[in-house]
């Protein structure tokens, strides 16, 4: 066991590159959000009537992931609440992030969080949805307040629980309190599934967040760097690389910040005196490995079985035909004791796997033999090996 000892001894002696590591986490809310004045002002204008005791319009905020929707909204809401407290205006913000994995009933959890925020209690389970709502409305009815209910990542709640909750929330009729709804979403098409009247009610006002470009991301990162790191430990080229990679990914500040955090952790573990471009490259690999493995772990068993077939066939050939995959698949499922799905169902699963980016499938013409679908794997070599190992473990092979 000499290795860990030597490693810890070295790490223990390495001075930390960080001044405040917290400043790079998702929860950290910077008090200054460059390039988002217009969006912040727009949200502030929508919510301002609550300060002179009028009900603000409902609003829908949308834009790509990592464009600052959550950060800007939270900051505006904090400032609004401060001002309301100062003026003794009765205002209450109920905020819920619907992006919590592994919780079966997202809608119940949202109502539960609201009830808690209003000082009530609701058990984890045991009550029906109707009972939970009754309790919630009772609490609201005791108040003479403007309530702003924020559903962050509302598309997830809609996908999970349908759109009934929107009917409920847009039609709440209370004795004294008023409720305004704010929905935040990465996905605009989701609103197409909502009844027209509800849709126009929720999107009385809209605020769109556009993607950041590389220069803007570099500024955002530099500002965060000053909070998070000792002076001079991050090389400018490393910042630019994180910015460029975030800009490639639909202008995503979250991706840039994650790259910077993981790059700094890599540099620190190496005992390097500064964060350089090579650490960002390594961070990029680590993050994509992590993402692929998480994606694989979240797949149903049939999907995993198919992935296993594709990865082993593509180990030999660059591309395989769906027919070959199916033959292999049929054999594997019988070994695993899984149900053998029809070629049509399998073809749908292949389309799923393509959509999430684990494989690439395309139709090729084979002259008089008609058309067939070819499949290839687009993961980098190292990630692919890890993926193959992970799948074997999951399937017990
Ligand atoms: P979204 O909700 O649109 O997916 P977030 O608001 O969560 O994005 O932003 C992602 C990350 O980037 C957060 O850590 C946030 O603090 C940071 N961020 C986004 N925009 C800015 C900005 N203009 N200035 C500083 N940090 C930002
Ligand atoms: Mg968000």
The pLDDT value recorded for residue 221 is 97
DSSP string across 76-138: HHHHHHHHHHHTT--EEEEEEE---TT-S-HHHHHHHHHHHHTT----SSSS-HHHHHHHHHH
Q: What is the pTM of this model?
A: 0.83
Over residues 303-323, the mean pLDDT reads: 90
Between the CA of 219 and the centroid of ligand 1 the distance, in Å, is 13
Tens digits of residue pLDDT in 145-156: 999 999 999 988
* Closest C-alpha among 96, 152, 105, 140 to residue 125: 105
The pLDDT value recorded for residue 194 is 84
186-211 burial: b if 16+ Cβ within 10 Å, else e: beeebbeebeeebbebbbebebebeb
Between the CA of 186 and the centroid of ligand 1 the distance, in Å, is 13
The pLDDT value recorded for residue 214 is 97
The C-alpha angle 215, 221, 227, rounded to 5 degrees, equals: 150
Over residues 208-236, the mean pLDDT reads: 96
Tens digits of residue pLDDT in 21-64: 899 988 899 999 999 999 999 999 999 999 988 899 999 999 99
From the CA of 254, the nearest ligand is 1
Q: Ligand 1: does its nearest atom lie under 6 Å from the Cβ of 66?
A: yes
Give the position, in ligand 1's atom list, of the atom nearest the Cα of 34: 23
Over residues 118-122, the mean pLDDT reads: 91
Tens digits of residue pLDDT in 324-361: 999 999 999 999 999 999 999 999 899 889 888 889 98
Instruction: Mark the residues whose beta carbon lies below 5 A from ion ligand 2.
Output: 70
Q: What is the 3-state secondary structure (H, E, C) of 131-154?
A: HHHHHHHHHHHCCCCEEEEEEECH
Q: Ligand 1: does its nearest atom lie under 6 Å from the Cβ of 30?
A: yes
Q: Ligand 1: does its nearest atom lie under 6 Å from the Cβ of 49?
A: no
Q: Ligand 1: does its nearest atom lie under 6 Å from the Cβ of 350?
A: no
Dist CA 238 CA 286 (whole Å): 16
Q: How confident is the model at residue 187 (pLDDT cuts 50, 70, 90)?
A: confident
- Asked whether residue 160 carries a pLDDT value surpassing 90, the answer given is no
Between the CA of 80 and the centroid of ligand 2 the distance, in Å, is 19
Q: How confident is the model at residue 306 (pLDDT cuts 50, 70, 90)?
A: very high
From the CA of 261, the nearest ligand is 1
Strand partners, 6: none
């Amino acid at each position: 066991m000499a290795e860990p000892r030597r490693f810890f001894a070295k790490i223990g002696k390495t001075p930390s590159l960080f001044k405040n590591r917290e400043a790079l986490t998702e929860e950290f809310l910077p008090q200054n959000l460059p390039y988002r004045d217009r969006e912040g002002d727009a949200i502030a204008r929508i919510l301002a009537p609550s300060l002179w005791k009028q009900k603000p319009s409902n609003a829908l905020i949308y834009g790509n992931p990592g464009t600052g929707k959550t950060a800007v909204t939270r900051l505006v809401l904090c400032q609004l609440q401060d001002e309301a407290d100062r003026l003794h205006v009765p205002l209450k913000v109920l905020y819920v992030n619907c992006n919590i994995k592994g919780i079966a009933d997202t809608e119940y959890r949202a109502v539960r969080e609201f009830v808690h925020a209003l000082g009530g209690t609701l058990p984890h389970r045991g009550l029906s949805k109707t009972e939970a709502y009754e309790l919630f409305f009772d609490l609201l009815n005791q108040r003479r307040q403007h309530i702003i209910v924020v559903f962050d990542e509302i598309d997830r709640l809609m996908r999970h629980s349908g759109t009934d909750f929107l009917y409920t929330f847009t039609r709440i009729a209370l004795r004294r309190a008023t409720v305004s709804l704010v929905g935040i979403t990465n996905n605009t098409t989701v609103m197409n599934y909502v009844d027209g009247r509800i849709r126009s009610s929720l999107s009385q006002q809209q605020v769109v967040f556009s993607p950041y470009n590389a220069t803007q991301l570099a500024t955002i990162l530099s500002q965060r760097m000053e909070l998070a790191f000792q002076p001079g430990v991050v090389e400018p080229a490393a910042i630019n690389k994180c910015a460029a990679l975030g800009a490639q990914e639909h202008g995503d500040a979250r991706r840039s910040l994650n790259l910077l955090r993981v790059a700094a952790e890599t540099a620190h573990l190496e005992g390097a005196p500064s964060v350089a471009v090579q650490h960002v490259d390594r961070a990029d690999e680590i993050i994509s490995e992590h993402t692929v493995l998480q994606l694989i772990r979240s797949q149903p068993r049939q999907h995993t079985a198919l992935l296993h077939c594709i990865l082993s066939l593509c180990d030999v050939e660059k591309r395989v035909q769906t027919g070959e995959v199916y033959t292999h698949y049929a054999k594997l499922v019988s070994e695993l004791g899984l149900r053998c799905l029809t070629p049509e169902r399998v073809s749908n699963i292949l389309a799923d796997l393509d959509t999430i980016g684990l494989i690439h499938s395309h139709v090729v013409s084979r002259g008089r033999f008609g058309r067939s679908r070819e499949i290839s794997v687009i993961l980098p070599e190292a990630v692919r090996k890890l993926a193959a190992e992970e799948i074997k473990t999951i399937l017990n092979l």
